[in-house]
Amino acid sequence: MKRILFLVLVGIVSLFLACQPLQHSSSSSSSPEITILWAQWSAADYLQELSRQFTRETGIRVRVVQVHWDHFSESFFGREIPCDLVGGDSQWLGRGVQEGYYTDLTRWIRERAIDQEMQPMAMEGYAEYPRGSGRYWAVPLMGDAMGFAYRKDLFEDPAEQKAFRERYGYELGVPRTWQQLYDVAHFFYRPEKDFYGVNVWATPDYDGTTMGIQTLVWAWGGSLGDPETFQVNGILNVPVSVEALKMYKALHALGHPDWYRAYVNETNSAFMQGKVAMVMSYFAFFPDLVDPAKNPFLGVTGFFANPAGPAGRFSSVGGQGLSLVKWSKNKEAALEFMEWFTRKETQAQWARLGGFPCHREVLTSEEFLAAKPYNPALVESMKILKDFWTVPEYNELLGISRKYWNAYLFDEGVTAEEAMDRVAHEWENIFEAAGYYKE
């Protein structure tokens, strides 16, 4: 009888133990996991590395899924990849909000004073929609702006300085105005030596041409249109905008012909091959230029923010915001990550890994300013950010400006005036078809 009772007890205990999961299995199967969808680039690698600290602190696992830039937008808006958070471009805000992809974070952000801790232009560019509404749909993820890299050795060469001063009547140095940038580019334009002045963006893909040209339009006192009424005709296609477009073409003509059709990777390549004195790029792509394995001119590479035009100084917005996707099944965990990411200490670590923080104190700290040679120019640029239309139809609008502005740049039978007129006319057609105009 005792033996039977013993066997029964052993069986009960064994059954009980068998029903208990192993400790390591419990943590891996029951703890939540959040998925962040972002573009395929080094910053996403930095984010994955940063998130490991969050997992150690909270037990919440983070998976950063990277999609090639060419397919990033369609992957998200087509819901091809399930995710909880997305690092969406600033232009996505309108579509993300109006078509129900993004979660309203206004109250959540204000309760935590995140809008007070982040750089104001970053909150406006990456989080607020509509502009000026005070409603937020993201927290800043990766701050970025456009700027320039240049060859310091050429700018500081006494013989070059003397020749420049004799030709232009002022000292050779970092351009303070677009006219000075043109002068410097023209001075270094030496096709007989296979060396050129400046390569700016002009690309048949996505937004490169538009991001470059709109910066000069604003600097000349022009505008893309009225964001309240969506009127474009008579606002975009005006003399100052036409002059800005002509200046951009003049700059484009001073670039190396092998990179006439270029965006960030191509302009960087022209620079690293020693073919050009200056290049336009986004700061987020300048790490290649401070990599000794990639840039043989590392020791003589400098950086500067966009110069000024007759009416001001502007930089096209780069970077992304981090938005909570409405269909996320892990919203609490995702919000916990967002709150953790925006903390000052996390933003500082983000910067150390290679990310561009948007926290006011971190962005202006001595540590950040000294960390990379391009950081001071980035901080300067973050104060002059301005963006393209953030409406759901932004991609259609980009297609129009890309078509006609490229046609002008590449001498395809369109004058500067005609290019501006056609963009204005067809943008208004898009707005009309989308129902923006009241009867």
DSSP 202: B
Predicted model pTM? 0.89
Q: Is 95 helix (H, G, I), strand (E, B) or coil?
A: helix
Three-class SS of residue 327? coil
Q: Tell me which of 303 and 20 has the higher pLDDT.
A: 303
Cα–Cα distance measured from residue 314 to residue 223, given in angstroms and rounded to the nearest whole number: 12
Q: What is the mean pLDDT of the chain?
A: 93
The per-residue pLDDT for 204 is 87
Query: In angstroms, rounded to a whole number, what is the distance separating the alpha carbons of residues 48 and 44?
Result: 6
Q: How far apart are CA 301 and CA 336, in angstroms?
A: 40
What tokens appear for 86 in the block? 């997305």
What pLDDT score does 7 carry?
A: 39
CA 424 to centroid of chain Cα atoms = 25
> 126, 320 in Cβ contact below 8 A?
yes
Please state, in angstroms and rounded to a whole number, the distance separating the CA atoms of residues 172 and 139.
41
| pLDDT tens digits, one per residue of 100-141 | 999 999 999 999 999 999 999 999 999 999 999 999 999 999
Q: Which of 337, 41, 323, 303 lies closest to 147 in space, CA to CA?
A: 303
Q: How confident is the model at residue 30 (pLDDT cuts 50, 70, 90)?
A: low
> What percentage of residues in the chain have a pLDDT greater than 70?
93
> What is the spatial distance between Cα 35 and Cα 181, in angstroms, rounded to a whole number?
44
Predicted local confidence at residue 415, as pLDDT: 98
pLDDT of residue 420: 99
Q: State phi, psi for 325 to the nearest 5 degrees.
A: -75, 135
Cα separation of 61 and 55, whole Å?
A: 5
Confidence of residue 70 (pLDDT cuts 50, 70, 90): confident
* Phi, psi of 114, deg, nearest 5: -65, -35
Confidence (pLDDT) at 18? 37
Judged by phi (left if over 0) then psi (alpha if -120 to 50, else beta), residue 230 lies in: left
**pLDDT for 9:** 40
Q: How confident is the model at residue 438 (pLDDT cuts 50, 70, 90)?
A: confident
Q: How far apart are the two ends of the chain, measured CA to CA in Å?
A: 94
Task: Say whether pLDDT at 148 is over 80.
Answer: yes
pLDDT higher than threshold 60 for residue 270: yes
Q: What mean pLDDT comes out for the span 408-425? A: 98
Per-residue pLDDT, 439: 66
Higher per-residue pLDDT: 190 or 2: 190
pLDDT at residue 90 greater than cutoff 70: yes
Cα separation, 73 vs 89, in Å, equals 9
- pLDDT computed for residue 338 by the predictor: 99
Query: Distance (Å, rounded) from C-alpha 389 to C-alpha 404?
Result: 17
C-alpha dist (Å) from residue 245 to 164, 236, 260, 304, 314? 26, 11, 16, 22, 15
363-384 pLDDT per residue, tens: 999 999 999 999 999 999 999 9
- Spell out the domains of the chain, with CATH numbers in brackets: 25-143+317-386 (3.40.190.10), 145-316+390-433 (3.40.190.10)
Query: What is the number of alpha carbons within 13 Å of residue 435 lying toward its C-beta?
Result: 1
